[in-house]
Structure 1
Amino acid sequence: MKYNTRNIGIIAHVDAGKTTLTERLLYYTGMIHKIGNVDEGNTTMDKDIQEKNRGITISSAAISTQWKKEDDLFSINIIDTPGHIDFAVEVERSLRVLDSVVAVFCASSGVQPQTENVWFQAEKHGISKICFINKMDRIGADFFSVVNEIRTKLNAVPLVLQIPIGSEDRFEGVIDLITQKALYWIDENGETIVEKEIPENYLAETGEFRVKLMETLAESDDVFFEAFLDAENTVTEKMLVDAVTRTCQSGSLVPVLCGSAFKNKGVQPLLDAVVTYLPAPDQLARIKAKDTKTERTVELERNEEEVFSGLVFKVVIDKHMGKLAMLRIYSGSIQSGDAVQNVRTGDSFRISRILQIQSDKTLPVEKGRAGDIVALTGIKDAKTGDSLSSLACPVLLESITIPDPVIRVSIEPKTNADEKSFGIVLAKIQEEDPSLVVERDRQTGETLLSGLGELHLEVTLEKIRLNHGIEINQGEPKVSYREILTETRKHREKLSKQNGGSGQFADITFEIGPRENNEPGLEFINRIKGGVIPGEFIPSVEKGFREAMENGPIGGNPLESMKVVLLDGSAHSNDSNAQDFEIAAKDGFRAIGNSCRPKLMEPIMQVEIQTIEEYTGVVTADLNKRRGIITSIDDKSGRKIFTAEVPLASTFGYISDLRTLASGRATISMKFSHYALVPDFIANTLIT
């Protein structure tokens, strides 16, 4: 069976035009019959009340549509992802299950810090990319400058397939370098495309960029290189298309197109590029999974004949249908009534219904096949990252990485009457968004909500109010600090208890301190010789230290990293068991941790500020006041661009403060960069 399916995501920074572009993709594919507008809050993909009010995407939305190119009909599953850093988990879990992305760039503002963030998330998953330089009609639009930024800032090799005809308010259309034709959109809705000869004043530029296109392909594709060198061989359109497809799918080159989604120009060629150059599910490498019976890695074919495997990448709680598990099917197929297994829990269940998601609507389908993205009902205990598989052959797929929260706030319902439903609602929002953490402060008894940023928490609390009718009292935002050990110490910890019958015994000597390479997590080195501690107890020692890292010696914050070398010890033939060694490790950490000169670490944000020359002084002074370190100041299109590293604790309320400082003539974008030591003079005020 030939898979005419494409699973694509739309990724970009805030305000690059992702949702507007998605709206046009749906309009030209016939999925919708009226074009919505982000400013008017009536787009197909932004259905949440807050998405309409704020004009941003908060939750990734999925929809299926179809596009006909020549005689072939293609199914396209589209996921429109958020652009704001606070909703990074939405991008991460979408990219985990997609085969390719369309990366959208604003022709005026170019590559932003958040563009880098989502781009490198896509790189991590090794998926194919196409670039669409949007907003060619905007003041300051510069196609070639953005192409250069894709090369320098994203470390990619852009393959220019189109060049624009004009820019800003003179943007008229595009020149296709493969067909060597000029394309114009002549009606208001952009449905009629007129193909003309290339304007005379663009002939030289077109020739130059077409040669560059062929040279770039020849450098990356051996098949095209041979044809390109052969003087007797005329390079045909098909040869170019085939070479672009190979290099795009291998990830060596990134095709670049342009247009203006808002002005309805350039969208149909993008759809053609999606179905031509991006891979179908069965064109990808076999899916790797772990056979839970044998613990071996197995490779599954991405077709219907293979055993069933799928990954739950999102859980949605719908007020009408209950819990929906969004599933990417990687191999095999499923039908309503089939029994499948949740590999994490080991439980099996019958699938009630299989649904195709159409933004906020659903469509029942008979069958889900390899390559499909569907929603299932009837799965009680599904969580983001769960593997579903056939009962006969349970396999575990690679899960989804959930970033750690960096900010928290204390919350409580305003009225006692809401106390019971408050707990239920918090459990629901955690199910839907695993990057939120709800915990109770052991000292104060307060309920703490942790998330990825101020906006993330603000949106969550607003959701509780709007969707569940619970008014919330909240405290001031607090930073999620980490701790680190700065000196190495040697320690012996002995656990010896007799309580009638078999006792408890564990004896360990270890060195504990900082890791040399500052890598996060635990580096555990076992130097036990002669079996003085039986081998089966060593993993328990490591587990004890790993769990101890969750509560650092200063203020109970998690440790960012730690190195433990297990040097010596002893065990009792009758009284020792695995848990004793786990307890000894935890007790040993608590006993010696304070002697290792622990220090506090804080999250540092990479900040980019764009403003005009006039406000350079006030922006610089304000960054210094916030303990910011300016790493670069650049000029672009008459604007000053500051890149700085600023502690998260100093960024609360920064967006509104900056607007006031620069009279509304500055924009800011932030992304998490790394953890760094808190200066002593500040740490002393934080440690009580």
Structure 2
Amino acid sequence: MKYNTRNIGIIAHVDAGKTTLTERLLYYTGLIHKIGNVDDGNTTMDKDIQERSRGITISSAAVSTQWKKGEKVYNINIIDTPGHIDFAVEVERSLRVLDSVVAVFCASSGVQPQTENVWFQAEKHGTSKICFINKMDRIGADFFSVLREIETKLHAVPMALQIPIGAEDHFEGVIDLIRQKALYWMDDNGETVIEKEIPEDLKADTDEYRMKLMETLAEYDESFFEIFMDSDKKVTEEMISEALQRVCRSGAAVPVLCGSAFKNKGVQPLLDAIVTYFPAPEQLSNIQGENPHSGETVELARNETESLSGLIFKVVIDKHMGRLAMLRIYSGMIQSGDTVLNARTGESFRISRILKMQSDKTLSIEVGKAGDIVALTGIKDAKTGDTLSAVEKPILLEAITIPAPVIRVSIEPKTNSDEKSFGLVLAKIQEEDPSLVVERDRQTGETLLSGLGELHLEVTLEKMRLNHGIEVNQGKPKVSYREVLTEAMIHREKLSKQNGGNGQFADITFEIGPRENNEMGLEFVNLIKGGVIPGEFIPSVEKGFREAMENGPLKGYPLESLKITLLDGSFHSQDSAAYDFEMAARDGFRTAAVLCSPKLLEPVMEVEIQSIEEYTGAVTADINRRRGIILSIDEKSGRKVFAAEVPLASTFGYISDLRTLTSGRASISMKLAHYALVPDFIASTLTT
């Protein structure tokens, strides 16, 4: 086994320095020959016009590069993901296909809300992690404070592999705790790493943290525990390194390194750690899926000789090459000209070209193998989350979860001439980003675009203008409210129509009301006995209720959760049909739901604001004005950190309002916390 491929992602909160770090990784691996900077808008990964102008990553970029450690050359596929919560689906689909992630933290801001989000997303996928504490040169940088936060806020076990030499303006280098050497970066480009003896004043700290590292390894790795406890055995660098590999791959504890990507310090040791401690695809457990026809579990080994399985995690529409499907190959291999199966649609098609992505450049390759991330051209009808497999051994892998949108705007093209291409462009954009929903308002005929946040929609409309030349008029943002029933009742609904020949007949008695703990979706309980309603009509009753939930009784918003218990009923041997029972369920819902004290629910955002002391009063008053609840006010690196919950409806324009309020001295981040009941005095003022 060669074990020489690593599939890694870079995750973090907005502005922790992910893209800058990726740029340095590409520079030191020799893929690019000039270092780009986010502030100058010339980075390799942010190739979109908006990404450059806004200084943020919007869509996850993929790039393949190589790093040589010792005599061995490793292929590293890197995906740089967005840090903004509005692009959570980009992070989710990247994490779904990656084996490991480098979590980047700002040394002065520490663990921020979006860091927590992406960290727990990575946990859900069982991804191996390494932490990189960046911006050690920044004012307020505190490596040890961030170590503590990783432990308390992320419930992780951090293992420092390095400690910094100095901080802020005095950050000079790092001490490698395994090799017990001080590393300094002497030139501006950081290419020359000089090893020296550990400075006298840092020897005690080095001993302390090296001992902590070994104790953690002994706690989480049995073989290392035996070596560590055996006083006759000397612990070698190799032993520590091997134990670190095992612990990192099991996810029990996480290695932590530090540096300053912007100042080109600390990047090469991070590359060494990536290839040393992260698993190769072949070292992971077998891939599991199901046979799309029989539903039986299918298990495939992650090697080239196994039959093909791969997941399309992204669809990109490229100006020059058309539709590109980004594919992570889990097992087997594909060659140009092979016929493969889309397990979702059941259709087979021929692979025309296989491309290796070098961010904005592409390289044609003949073969894609297990562990590779490639782009395929000419794949029709493929969507994010589709499985491609061998025709003779179909497998369906777990799809990618797409979060539900929370905000929508009405949109229309500014000019009539754009009317035709407007629909086509919206369809393209929706293909690329499945978290966007486009629908027509049945009452007004307007086109509604829904997304995960204000910035998400803003970026989408800007993309339509910049990439497709369509100017759009937009309405005011509207919140995607939900409805919920707060009381239960029993209702009988009878449908009986005679219109010559066969009539229509359905009769159902059901209890309708809220689910326990307001769990999501429809809970349908069938208590019909003795065949009073034939079994083949029961699914139609359920279907009727499921469809009726889309329009709540209060203002027509979807119902968040509902429990229906089908108690009794009757049918007519000639006149009853499945559709009659579906209609009876819909009519019964409309009549009964109004009587179950329906209430409106609104999305509530978890908000974190960082500001300076003098604006505390203004920020607090503003949160209260927005119907917000302050959960805590902490101090971090000389700044005030407010944690609050604010209804989404009150957050429109919050970012620019806050800048005005604090003369640009505050930053804000938001994520969806939960849905909560809308106060009656607000609900009465809302129109659909």
TM range (shorter): over 0.9
Match of 1:303 in 2: 303
Deviations for 1:352-403, whole angstroms, at most 9, x for unmatched residues? 1111111111111101111111111111111111111111122111001111
> In 2, distance between residues paired with 1:652 and 1:526?
44
Deviations for 1:513-552, whole angstroms, at most 9, x for unmatched residues? 1112122222222222233333343333333322222221
> In 2, distance between residues paired with 1:367 and 1:501?
65
Q: Secondary structure at the match of 1:686?
A: coil
Match of 1:273 in 2: 273
Match of 1:290 in 2: 290
Match of 2:55 in 1: 55
How much does 1:92 deviate? 0.6
> In 1, distance between residues paired with 2:341 and 2:577?
33
Match of 1:187 in 2: 187
Deviations for 1:158-197, whole angstroms, at most 9, x for unmatched residues? 1111110000010011111111111111111111111111
State the one-letter code of the partner of 1:224: F
Deviations for 1:534-578, whole angstroms, at most 9, x for unmatched residues? 334333333332222222112221111111112222344455444
Matched, 1:450 2:450: yes
Match of 2:177 in 1: 177
Deviations for 1:602-652, whole angstroms, at most 9, x for unmatched residues? 110100111112111111111000000000111112211110000011111
> In 2, distance between residues paired with 1:660 and 1:643?
20
Q: 1:92 and 1:507, CA in 2 relative to 1: closer, same or farther beyond 3 A?
A: same
Q: Secondary structure at the match of 1:646?
A: strand
> In 1, distance between residues paired with 2:501 and 2:216?
77
Match of 1:2 in 2: 2
Match of 1:67 in 2: 67
Q: Secondary structure at the match of 2:594?
A: helix
Deviations for 1:215-262, whole angstroms, at most 9, x for unmatched residues? 111111111111111111211111111111111111110111000000
Match of 1:112 in 2: 112
Q: Is the 8 Å Cα contact of residues 554 and 687 (structure 1) preserved in structure 2?
A: no
Determine what percentage of the aligned residue pairs are the same residue.
80
How much does 1:596 deviate? 1.1
Q: 1:310 and 1:501, CA in 2 relative to 1: closer, same or farther beyond 3 A?
A: farther
> In 1, distance between residues paired with 2:577 and 2:280?
52
Match of 1:363 in 2: 363
Match of 1:671 in 2: 671
> In 2, distance between residues paired with 1:499 and 1:354?
61
Q: Secondary structure at the match of 1:601?
A: strand
How much does 1:144 deviate? 0.7
Match of 1:12 in 2: 12
Match of 2:158 in 1: 158
Match of 1:228 in 2: 228
> In 2, distance between residues paired with 1:133 and 1:503?
73
Matched, 1:398 2:361: no
Deviations for 1:415-448, whole angstroms, at most 9, x for unmatched residues? 1111101111111101111111111111111111
State the one-letter code of the partner of 1:69: K
Paired residues for 1:158-557 under 5 Å: 158-498=158-498, 503-557=503-557
Q: 1:50 and 1:232, CA in 2 relative to 1: closer, same or farther beyond 3 A?
A: same
The answer to which of 392-401 and 546-555 deviates more is 546-555
The answer to which of 208-217 and 580-589 deviates more is 580-589
Q: Secondary structure at the match of 1:596?
A: coil
> In 1, distance between residues paired with 2:402 and 2:635?
36
How much does 1:76 deviate? 0.5
Q: Secondary structure at the match of 2:641?
A: strand
Q: Is the 8 Å Cα contact of residues 537 and 577 (structure 2) preserved in structure 1?
A: yes
> In 2, distance between residues paired with 1:504 and 1:579?
9
Q: Secondary structure at the match of 2:66?
A: strand
State the one-letter code of the partner of 2:52: K
Deviations for 1:643-677, whole angstroms, at most 9, x for unmatched residues? 00000111111111111111211111111111111
Q: Secondary structure at the match of 2:517?
A: coil
Match of 1:593 in 2: 593
State the one-letter code of the partner of 2:430: Q
Q: Secondary structure at the match of 1:239?
A: helix
The answer to which of 272-281 and 533-542 deviates more is 533-542
Q: Secondary structure at the match of 1:163?
A: strand
Q: Is the 8 Å Cα contact of residues 245 and 277 (structure 2) preserved in structure 1?
A: yes
> In 2, distance between residues paired with 1:539 and 1:524?
10
The answer to which of 480-489 and 499-508 deviates more is 499-508
Q: Is the 8 Å Cα contact of residues 128 and 278 (structure 1) preserved in structure 2?
A: yes
Q: 1:639 and 1:225, CA in 2 relative to 1: closer, same or farther beyond 3 A?
A: same
Q: Is the 8 Å Cα contact of residues 439 and 448 (structure 2) preserved in structure 1?
A: yes
Deviations for 1:318-340, whole angstroms, at most 9, x for unmatched residues? 11111111111111111111111
Q: 1:498 and 1:331, CA in 2 relative to 1: closer, same or farther beyond 3 A?
A: farther
> In 2, distance between residues paired with 1:509 and 1:559?
21
Q: Is the 8 Å Cα contact of residues 109 and 637 (structure 2) preserved in structure 1?
A: no
5+ residue gaps, structure 1, are none
> In 2, distance between residues paired with 1:58 and 1:13?
13
> In 2, distance between residues paired with 1:583 and 1:299?
43
Match of 1:680 in 2: 680
Q: Secondary structure at the match of 1:120?
A: helix
Matched, 1:602 2:602: yes
Q: 1:680 and 1:303, CA in 2 relative to 1: closer, same or farther beyond 3 A?
A: same
Q: Secondary structure at the match of 1:484?
A: strand
> In 1, distance between residues paired with 2:501 and 2:290?
42
The count of corresponding residues between Structure 1 and Structure 2 is 688
How much does 1:52 deviate? 0.8
